[in-house]
Amino acid sequence: MILPPATLGMLGGGQLGRFFVSAAHEMGYRVWVLDPDSHSPAGLIADRHLVAAYDDYAALDELAGACAGVTTEFENVPAATLDYLAKFLSVHPSASAVAVCQNRIAEKTFLADNGLPHGPFAVVRSEAEVRNAAPELFPAVLKVARFGYDGKGQARVANPDEALHAFHQFGGEACMLEKMLSLDCELSVVLARDEAGNVSCFDPSENRHRHGILDITIAPAGVASALIARAREVAGQIAEKLDYVGTLGVEFFVCGGALYVNEMAPRPHNSGHHTIDACVTSQYEQQVRALCGLPLGEPRAHSAAVMVNLLGELWYDGAHMGGTYREPDWSVLHAVPNLRLHLYAKHHARAGRKMGHFTVIGGDAEKTLAAALHGRAVIGIRDDER
């Protein structure tokens, strides 16, 4: 068990890392952050920020010498880095678990091998494999196996010719070709699992996307109780089969009343931001607890919640980032009752970049959603194509 005032290490300096640092500080820990960006949001509030690459072994040695345990806030930290650090101190989640989640081919193969629900897919590493893809896979989505997120590295394709064109645009990188499913809705489950195998699961939430990026999360999700139970069950099975320790996000597609795993995130998840304001224990405190060997906290929600992402476009007058850069008028959000605004201190706004979010909490789910949609409208988020 790692107890305060021990020092914890965080690989990655984004907003998820920033919330981890904040939660750890409140619990009495010190935190070092390793991130190559000198302006990283987590680095700005860390006790020390090592500005270095994730494969800088001198920096990793320094981190290992100062910290009692290390975790990560994004899945693209090299697995070799986690393996190296694990020689010296506690590292959660493990390199093996992260390696599955950071590669779409490994991820889908893991689901298939373990009998977990997933949509039809094909691995494509060559032009021939694109051309020979089963006709019933189309229309489909072609996704690069590594480093794609928030709609990046993805293309909708109606037929093999379009898939081949997209494959070339992706530089011939290994890809997943996934059948495009007809969605009822999208759900996510965020859970924490400790070294003893105990699982603490937050209520599943419903996610709505805009331009391939999460727009709104509604918690709890307004779907059938059987579907909620099944989502919890599958997420728990994933964590168990990965021997996962830490906070894990699992995204699901709901299609014709059936549940399919879309992807896993070996870290806290954007759709779990609301747990900061609406739950007894946040997903970030759970991450601290799992890393440090503390008993997991109570995940119970004390309020209904709706989270809305704030993207870089809001910092510009005019459409498509073509106007003058200015700070949004936050007063209109602060005027909304029970709204909590969280800004990430990122040094530059750009299209699609997550700059902050707000969460509205309340006792009535419908009124909470209405208030969040009002806040979304008054700050200037348009209801164009999702």
306 DSSP β-pair partners: 218, 360
**Residue 143 assigned ligand-binding role:** yes
DSSP 243-302: T--EEEEEEEEEETTEEEEEEEESS--GGGTTHHHHBSS-HHHHHHHHHHTPPPPP--BS
**Residue 103 assigned ligand-binding role:** no
Listed residue (152, 190, 191) closest to 173, CA to CA: 152
**Residue 186 assigned ligand-binding role:** yes
**Residue 92 assigned ligand-binding role:** no
> Would you say 28 and 4 are in contact if contact means Cβ atoms under 8 Å apart?
yes
- Cis bond leading into 220, ω under 30°? yes
**Residue 104 assigned ligand-binding role:** yes
Q: Which two tokens stand for residue 223?
A: 């779907």
Listed residue (187, 221, 19, 193) closest to 92, CA to CA: 193
**Residue 151 assigned ligand-binding role:** yes
Q: Which two tokens stand for residue 47?
A: 């006790």
Q: Which two tokens stand for residue 66?
A: 């100062």
**Residue 180 assigned ligand-binding role:** yes
**Residue 148 assigned ligand-binding role:** yes
User: What does the alpha-carbon distance between residue 14 and residue 20 come to, in Å, rounded to a whole number?
Assistant: 10
User: What does the alpha-carbon distance between residue 231 and residue 188 come to, in Å, rounded to a whole number?
Assistant: 8
**Residue 367 assigned ligand-binding role:** no
**Residue 362 assigned ligand-binding role:** no
**Residue 313 assigned ligand-binding role:** no
> Would you say 97 and 85 are in contact if contact means Cβ atoms under 8 Å apart?
no
Query: What residues contact residue 115 under an 8 Å CB cut-off, 6+ apart?
Result: none
User: What does the alpha-carbon distance between residue 104 and residue 142 come to, in Å, rounded to a whole number?
Assistant: 11
DSSP 159-221: SHHHHHHHHHHTTT--EEEEEPP--SEEEEEEEEE-TT--EEEPPPEEEEEETTEEEEEEES-
User: What does the alpha-carbon distance between residue 309 and residue 357 come to, in Å, rounded to a whole number?
Assistant: 4
Q: Which two tokens stand for residue 369?
A: 């959603």
The binding site comprises 104, 143, 148-154, 178-181, 186, 209, 262-263
The binding site for ATP comprises 104, 143, 148-154, 178-181, 186, 209, 262-263
